[in-house]
Amino acid sequence: MINRTIKPHVESKLFRGKALILFGPRQVGKTTLVTSLLSGKEKVIYLNGGEADVRTLLTNTTSSMLRAIIGDNKIVFIDEAQRIENIGITLKLFTDQIKEIQVIASGSSAFELANRINEPLTGRKYEFHLYPLSFGEMVSHHGLLEEKRLLTHRLIYGYYPEIVTSPGEENELLKLLADSYLYKDLLALNSINKPALLEKILKALALQIGSEVSFHELGQLVGADNQTIERYIELLEKAFVVFRLPALSRNVRNELKKSKKIYFYDNGIRNAIINNFSIVENRTDIDGLWENFIVSERVKFLANNNLVKDKFFWRTTQQQEIDYVEELKGKFSAFEFKWNTKKASSKFPKTFIANYPIEKTLVVTPANIEEFVM
């Protein structure tokens, strides 16, 4: 059992009068986490939204019906909640009418579940996001030395639980995972009417990690207009496939203002999309792989530890750039990512240093990765 950092944060919110909502992609360990959380606790009922009779019972229900369903149980766990019509109203009945009950709902489809619960559950929920396993979680599991030895492996195969725990089967499992994880929820949407276009967009994004992304150029490449590209990318974000990093633009006139980078939450999924599992020594994209890995690990670290910081990259028209910038309370921290430690210069652009209140600068390499993602 690999312990998840988020677990105590979720546990601390039990019986605080609100629903607990756990978002995350398929196969990331949501059910395992909640089952572990509830292990040893009495009077727990488990309801799976993937079962037709459960969906029927929890759709257009009443508080009296819910009391009959849950009996004398004190904790209700609804898995695959996004598959239940009017789930937001059902969860609201729990929080408003059956206050002594703790309801927990999880879903792999943020674009469905979030849309259905946001309005009914305003002020009535605690939300958590569970991502693939992290560097920090694996260090806690088997130590820093062992995890750093596995770093080149993680760059290629990523951190999905099934991949981490199935050595030797990574290639086959990642291809299966990528297909079901990327397309099962997305292609069920009426708004995704061109599956081939979605695949083209994914491959184009996978080949551009570490670089700025232009919706216009992407559209020309795959044969779609800007609005379609943006809509599909938004859906990919809500399906926990990718996330975007905006450009920081505050103080310098020649800063890039509307640019963005797009990263994958997991390196293994990215490599599965382009079907490239070559070892690190044979990669021409190692710098992009390292940048994607480090940025995604930082995002996981912040989320797992309930830390909120604004995240950016920085670049000017004169090609001055910083890979990653965080802002907290008006102070800025700047980070550069270098896979090759021999090229790891500690110099940061003077223009940036002169125009922003700097709290910290750091060049992140394999040698000091733990300083950034733990």
pLDDT score recorded for residue 95: 95
| 1.10.10.10, 3.40.50.2300, 3.30.499.10, 3.40.50.80: CATH of 135-373 | 1.10.10.10
The residues spanned by each domain of the chain are 7-129, 135-373
> Tell me, what's the pLDDT at 113?
64
CA distances for 296 relative to 84, 135, 301, angstroms: 31, 10, 9
Per-residue pLDDT tens digits of the chain, which is 374 residues long? 899 999 999 999 999 999 999 998 889 999 999 999 999 999 999 999 999 999 999 999 999 999 999 999 999 999 999 888 889 899 999 999 999 999 999 987 654 566 667 778 889 999 999 999 999 999 999 999 999 999 999 999 999 999 999 999 999 999 999 887 666 667 666 567 677 898 899 999 999 999 999 999 999 999 999 999 998 898 888 888 999 999 999 878 888 888 999 999 999 999 999 999 999 999 999 999 999 999 999 999 999 999 999 999 999 999 899 999 999 999 999 999 999 988 777 789 999 999 999 999 999 999 999 999 99
HSE at residue 104, side-chain half, CA atoms within 13 A, is: 23
- pTM listed for this prediction: 0.94
Torsion, Cα of 290, 291, 294, 299 (10° steps): -150
Whole-number mean pLDDT of the chain? Answer: 92
Helix, strand or coil, per DSSP, at residue 244 = strand
Which DSSP string corresponds to 83-137? GSTTHHHHHHHHHHH-TTSEEEEEES-HHHHHHHHTTTTTTSEEEEE--S--HHH
Q: What is the CATH number of domain 7-129?
A: 3.40.50.300
Backbone angles phi, psi at 318, to 5 degrees: -85, 10
| pLDDT confidence of residue 258 | 83
Q: What is the pLDDT of residue 252?
A: 81
Span 210-228, pLDDT tens digits: 999 999 999 999 999 999 9
Q: What is the DSSP string of 184-221?
A: TTGGGSTT---HHHHHHHHHHHHTTTTSB--HHHHHHH
pLDDT digits (tens, 9 = 90+) for 33-66: 999 999 999 999 999 999 999 999 999 999 999 9
Q: Quick one: pLDDT at residue 109?
A: 61
CA gap 326, 307 in Å, rounded: 12
Report the relative pairing of strands 44-48 and 242-246 from DSSP bridges. unpaired
